[in-house]
A and B are shown apart, each in its own frame.
Chain A
């Protein structure tokens, strides 16, 4: 039992050292090291006492002391090393009295890191870029705890939730507001307040293989006709492959008149769900007919569709700017065109990416200054636009990349992705309906009608506690 306590003490001490390892200040580490040394002495004294008392235990105790000493020594060295490291780090960071922390994704973090040095030298303010996966998940947890960044990068469809929670500080772009594309500023405006500064927009384009097709088809019938001929001649496996994400199918659906939410003056109207609208069903029927005819692929895998386009197995693909890198890398010759039409023109969704300021930051004004004075300049906006393959939201930075210009043309009439929370109720059932259509399990009408009902039930379900809940108690 003695030995147990003795070892437990060693473990406890080891824990203290361990604690010191991750330390912030040299002081903590030194204190811990000192404590460890003192305690080690104490431990040794105690153990000598024990050794005298119990012969049998003595040998083991000595050994244990040795081990403990070794462990302590090791720990102390380690702690010292850690302390040095900490000091080094501290020097690095403490160069600036104040600094701005930015959370960025893997695409933007490298660019911002590059910009950081110039910024720091010019203005004497530190800039710390942290590369964070899942910013959307981490930010609402970290910010209220006071651990959020000063600035974060986000897509416009998340601003509503964050702003209503008091996590985002409104921005005043002043005169520079006019230099951004109006649609991108609108997307970052929530209930009349501007809560983010856009830097890029993104939408799908209609990709075609220039080896297989000379000019892009302008109607969906033409797509099937041209693609069908290639299938017949054996040059292609399918005319086109769709991906499982209804986001990617949207330009086809809108061409037939389909919509997600009806538009009212106040924006999207969640009470008007268009998943089972006539146009959407027409799009579903078009898909189902051509899947049965073997002209549209019956696989809905996103990756597979892209690979098929990249290997020249299909001549057409609806894809976004994120696919540009891999399509270029694959070496397939391609062009990007506006979407084919059917009843009307096909419209993709429009997404806008931007910076926003954490309202709970201690440096709100500094962060705003950084955005409006440093980032919202042509030079920085150009650098942001140069990698990442997205057209800039800054009007003066016209993209020279012909692909981005074409994507911009394809997105002229793009519909902003609905930022209303009800959109969350739509994706699942909408995607399922098209899966059933492509699998041929249900007719387009049945699948979409059922999908629409599922969505309405979900949206209505939200109201339950307040309104319907009471009605139910009456029953």
Chain B
């Protein structure tokens, strides 16, 4: 086609990809600029007539950090703590289950897989009331996992660990040829050894992806957390931020926007750090049957 050297062709392709990337980034970032604008705007509006507000100021950020009724630092810490614990446990549960679904053939396997997905699609809004009742009852038996405890909330989150991610993980397991396990087993390896030493390293990309998804999902939840946690010091970030929107006409969008942007930072950092791990598998030549 073009009379170009390999290197020139590569740079050409990079150039085009960068142009596409810039367009996409514009699309991704543009609304966020308005949120940034709202966070500097003391009038608590989300109307987007002007990108640079008239009375630009840091009031909203200041009020986030200096108002004893909105302990922003504690909220972020709570969120990170809850999300991290949930992510580690949930990914463990998911991975073990997905291995079983992929590698064993047992009766009820297909129906279980279907059931897992169906349970996930049950509209959760009203089940929330039942979850509240359940945790209230736990509260009077083992207060440590009852209302207003992070442990109780995490347990409820883990109830969703057997979710659609099992399908994703199982699909990934399925693409790893069985021959790998079989040869290991012939050499006397147990299922656990095959799973933990052979397959898990290969699974790294999808494990990271699912971990990030779980982390973001937990981090962003406010529906469950709002019902189960009641004291300001226990709130995760999202529930804390929703306090600002509770008045029907007096939503404080300024602090909300500021908090939402700052709250996004931990996720961005985690993603930046883990990103190489996602693509890592490819460079190592992944699967060699």
Contacts and interface: CB of A to CB of B under 8 A. Distances in A.
Contact between chain A and chain B defined by CB under 8 Å: yes
A382 B129 CA distance: 38
B246 A106 contact: yes
B69 A113 contact: yes
Given A146-B136, A326-B44, 17 more contacts: A15-B89, A19-B151, A28-B143, A29-B144, A106-B69, A131-B232, A131-B243, A133-B239, A133-B246, A134-B246, A147-B136, A310-B45, A320-B249, A322-B247, A329-B42, A330-B43, A330-B55
A21 B151 contact: yes
A162 B247 CA distance: 20
Given A107-B250, A133-B245, A331-B55, A24 B46 contact: no
Interface in A312-371: 320, 322-323, 325-326, 329-331
A166 interface: no
B154 interface: yes
Interface residues of B, number: 55
A214 B259 CA distance: 41
B247 A141 contact: no
A2 B150 CA distance: 32
17 contacts: A11-B92, A19-B142, A19-B145, A22-B150, A28-B143, A106-B247, A107-B250, A113-B68, A131-B69, A133-B246, A135-B246, A141-B129, A141-B132, A147-B139, A311-B54, A322-B248, A326-B43
Contacts of B45: 303, 306-307, 310, 326
Interface of B: 42-47, 49, 54-55, 67-69, 85, 89, 92, 129, 132-133, 136, 139, 142-147, 149-152, 154, 188-193, 196-197, 226-227, 230-232, 239, 242-250, 252
B212 to A, nearest CB: 22
B150 A1 contact: no
Contacts of B149: 21-24
A105 B247 contact: yes
B231 A3 contact: no
B132 A145 contact: yes
Nearest to B232: A131
B147 A310 contact: no
Interface in A136-152: 138, 141-142, 145-147
A95 B73 CA distance: 26
Contacts of B139: 147
A11 to B, nearest CB: 7
Interface centre among B42, B146, B192, B247 (most CB of A within 10 A): B192
A349 B69 CA distance: 31
A149 to B, nearest CB: 9
A307 B252 CA distance: 15
Given A310-B43, A330-B54, A106 B244 contact: yes
B69 A322 contact: no
B190 A19 contact: no
B133 A145 contact: yes
A303 B46 contact: yes
A457 to B, nearest CB: 25
A301 B47 CA distance: 9
A109 B55 CA distance: 27
A263 interface: no
Nearest to B249: A322
Interface in A267-323: 301-304, 306-307, 310-311, 320, 322-323
A307 B144 contact: no
A18 B154 CA distance: 9
Contacts of B147: 147
B43 A322 contact: no
A418 B192 CA distance: 66
A416 interface: no
Contact of A60 (B129, B193, B230): B193
B227 A138 contact: yes
Nearest to B59: A329
A165 interface: no
A18 B89 CA distance: 11
A30 to B, nearest CB: 12
Contacts of A323: 249
Interface string A95-122: 0000000000111011001000000000
Given A57-B190, A105-B246, A138-B227, A331 B54 contact: yes
B144 A28 contact: yes
A32 B151 CA distance: 14
Contact of B190 (A3, A7, A105, A141): A3
Contacts of A113: 68-69
